[in-house]
Amino acid sequence: MLNSTVIELSDALAAKKVSSVELTRLYLDRIKGLNGQLNAFITVDEERSLAQARIADERRSRGEAGALTGVPVAHKDIYCTRGFRTTCGSKMLANFRSPYDAHVIERFNAAGAVLLGKTNMDEFAMGSSNETSHFGPVRNPWDPGRVPGGSSGGSAAAVAARMAPAATGTDTGGSIRQPAALCGISGLKPTYGVVSRYGMIAFASSLDQGGPMAKSAADLALLMNAMAGFDARDSTSLERPAEDYGRELKLDVAGLRIGLPKEYFAEGVDPEVLSRVREAIRWFESQGAETLEITLPNTGLAVPVYYVIAPAEASSNLSRFDGVRYGHRAKDYADLNDMYRRTRAEGFGTEVKRRIMIGTYVLSHGYYDAYYLQAQKVRRMIAKDFTEAFTRCDLIMGPTSPSTAFALGAKSDDPVQMYLNDIFTIPAPLAGLPGLSIPCGFDARGLPVGLQIMGNYFAEARMLGAAHRYQQATDWHLRAPNEAPL
């Protein structure tokens, strides 16, 4: 049961083979057994989850169940949830209880899903290894000496270790796809504007996008059907007709044009990662897909551009954490400015402070044009690279991350090395494009490798279709880590 996909669990619930209470209990026990080792969850509230499961079972007995009714889902601790505290991985919000639910949470509540707990994450989603969390690092279930990736590392580890059948994440520069790759699961970052950001604590508003994390592409489609949709409370939410993200799961990959950006198959990428990715691409070719080399010439500028824009927005977004109305406030202070200084010095961790300082700097008078405006120009060039590429191909494939999971502490003292880990995941959010990562094998150490599939705006269904065909032919996505025995 623990190794089942969401679709299988949904079927089992529908067939009354299991109740939501039983299923929830099963996962809660699994969390209890493993969380001490993996630290994937920040907050678990068994009573609250079981109460939701009972309501789901009642709903089902009344014949009012949908596909997700009774299915336990873990949520990244960046989504505001009534009842469960919402920490965003920070000391600043260590005891914060939101009086309202994020739009995504409302959607899962409406679908009858059970909130299984709040997952660990890099502080304010700033990190690629989950080491910046105030609540301690998450460990990779495939090798607890290694990082799970970040910032949605808790969600990725929870799904990989079968502590949750599915989870939500958010992706600003790769925070869904990179941990999905490093933990051997599937994760989708949708087109910007498809999932409402209301109630999702902002890191970089023009980049942040929520998305699902699960074992299979088919599960992601099901979860997207619940998560996506217009929300008038988010001005950047897109008003489009509802769509079924699973509509292209039966896609025939024959004739599909797959672009392979030469910049993504270059030096600096772990050869084993490249081999696994090439093998996956060969499978698509064997099914009749056409591959062609393309170029995304501004790929090398993506990381520097990102580290101007994201910190700029973050420096402003995080100003509300001032100790005045909620969250951490320093105990002793001389005056107002001292209160601000101490509160923020105590409440934020090193990486968050670093980015607030970078962001403040690039927005400052005299530097704005050279950094922020210039970065916005280059951002448009990066988007144009993709627009041109998608005139020649339907999907783009390449590695999600240049390496498999690295050791805890290996990069935490070298921010630039850490930032470069996101080189292949940063371009899609800069362009607002959707990106998907699915497992495509393992390296010699037994660590998972992720295949990234990018598509044009609103091409999620097609991307999921291609991924699903691959997952029909392979079982990488169903492999469970030995370190977390079932």
Partner 1 sequence: MAWEIVVGIETHTQLLTRSKMFSGAPNAFGAAPNTQACAVDIALPGTLPVANRAAIEHAIRFGLAVNGRISPRSVFARKNYFYPDLPKGYQISQYEIPVVQGGTFRFFADKIEKSIRLTRAHLEEDAGKSLHENFSDVTGIDLNRAGTPLLEIVTEPELRGAKEAVAYARALHVLVVWIGICDGNMQEGSFRCDANVSVRKTGDEKLGTRCEIKNLNSFRFMEQAIEYEAARQIEVLEGGGSIVQQTRLYDADRNETRSMRSKEDVQDYRYFPDPDLLPLVISEQDIERVRASMPELPETKRAKLIEAGVPPAQANQITSDIELTRYTVSAIRDASRIATQTVSSLIVGPLSARLNQDNISIDKSKMSADQLRILAQRMEDGTLSGKLAKEIIDAAWAGEGNVDEIIEKRGLRQISDSGAIEKIVDEVLAANAKQVADYRAGKEKAFNSLVGQVMKRSQGKANPAQVNEVLRRKLTSA
Q: Could you give the residue numbers annotated as active site?
A: 76, 151, 175
Cα dihedral across residues 179, 181, 183, 185: positive or negative = positive
Q: Cβ atoms within 10 A of the Cβ of 369, count? A: 9
Q: Cβ of residue 422: shortest distance to partner 1, in angstroms?
A: 19
Please give the Cα distance from 96 to 327 (Å, whole number): 6
Between 41 and 192, name the residue whose CB sits nearer to partner 1.
192
Q: Cβ of residue 429: shortest distance to partner 1, in angstroms?
A: 12
Between 205 and 295, name the residue whose CB sits nearer to partner 1.
205
Q: Cβ of residue 386: shortest distance to partner 1, in angstroms?
A: 20
- Whole-number Cα distances in Å, 380 to 57, 358, 416, 431, 454: 49, 21, 23, 7, 18
Q: Cβ of residue 352: shortest distance to partner 1, in angstroms?
A: 14
Between 41 and 372, name the residue whose CB sits nearer to partner 1.
372
Please give the Cα distance from 79 to 198 (Å, whole number): 9
Between 81 and 225, name the residue whose CB sits nearer to partner 1.
81
Cβ 180 vs Cβ 170: under 8 Å:
no
Cβ 449 vs Cβ 181: under 8 Å:
yes
Structure tokens at 274: 């490249």
Contact residues for partner 1 (CB under 8 A)? Answer: 79-80, 86, 88, 93, 96, 98-100, 102, 197-202, 204-206, 232-236, 312-313, 315-316, 318-322, 324-326, 336, 340, 360, 363-365, 368, 372
Cα dihedral across residues 340, 342, 345, 347: positive or negative = negative
Q: Cβ of residue 479: shortest distance to partner 1, in angstroms?
A: 35
Cβ 486 vs Cβ 162: under 8 Å:
yes
Between 100 and 282, name the residue whose CB sits nearer to partner 1.
100
Between 234 and 272, name the residue whose CB sits nearer to partner 1.
234
Residue 116: strand, helix, or coil:
strand
Structure tokens at 393: 């191909």
Ranges assigned E (strand) in 17-125: 41-43, 72-76, 114-119
In eight-state DSSP terms, residue 439 is E
Q: Cβ of residue 288: shortest distance to partner 1, in angstroms?
A: 41
In eight-state DSSP terms, residue 373 is I
